[in-house]
Amino acid sequence: MTSIRGVTLRRGTRADWDAARELAWKTFNEFDAVDYTPEGRQNFRKFLDDLTLLRLLGQGDYLLFVAILYGTTVGMLTLRDRVHISLLFVTGDCHRNGIGSALVELAAETVAAEYGGSFLTVNASHYAEPFYRKLGFVVTGSEQVQDGIRYTPMVLELE
């Protein structure tokens, strides 16, 4: 486990999923939803509610990392296919405190150490793209809209 300014960062479990999922939905609505079509917002919610994610998490095929502050989940990151950041959200009142960066760093360390991976990918929302650029991610394709979800594909080469 890693700590940053009173926040504990760790690998999440199935028991963490409901809080992480609700944090993602709340934060998505606060910062990202404005850039999505109604179809995109609906599809994002369906994705979060899909029980397949919970099953894959239980099998270890979908990785969850959480940031906990005083017993409350304030950040979450998920990895699919052991290299792709599927979800990354930090509560608005905790933005710009290093929590998102620390979650990406923890995921990168895990990918490199446990799976021998040399890169991370993400489909960055319009809101999050500057954050990912700051961490060293580079754009690998033009902005796309799929099922009403707007994103830019990016990659980070791990050292």
Burial of 31 (0-12, 13-18, 19+ CB in 10 A): middle
Range of the domain at 7: 2-157
What are 115-154's pLDDT values in tens digits? Answer: 898 999 999 999 999 999 999 999 999 999 998 888 999 9
Burial 98-115 (b: 16+ CB within 10 A, else e): ebbebbbbbbbebbeeee
Helix, strand, coil % (nearest 5) of the chain? 45, 35, 25
The predicted pLDDT at position 56 comes to: 87
**Residue 2 confidence (pLDDT) above 60:** no
- Rounded CA separation 70/3 (Å): 12
Domain count of the chain?
A: 1
Positive or negative, the Cα torsion across 13, 17, 20, 21? Answer: positive
CATH number of the domain within which 98 lies: 3.40.630.30
In this structure, how many other beta carbons lie within 10 angstroms of the beta carbon of residue 144?
11
pTM assigned to the model: 0.93
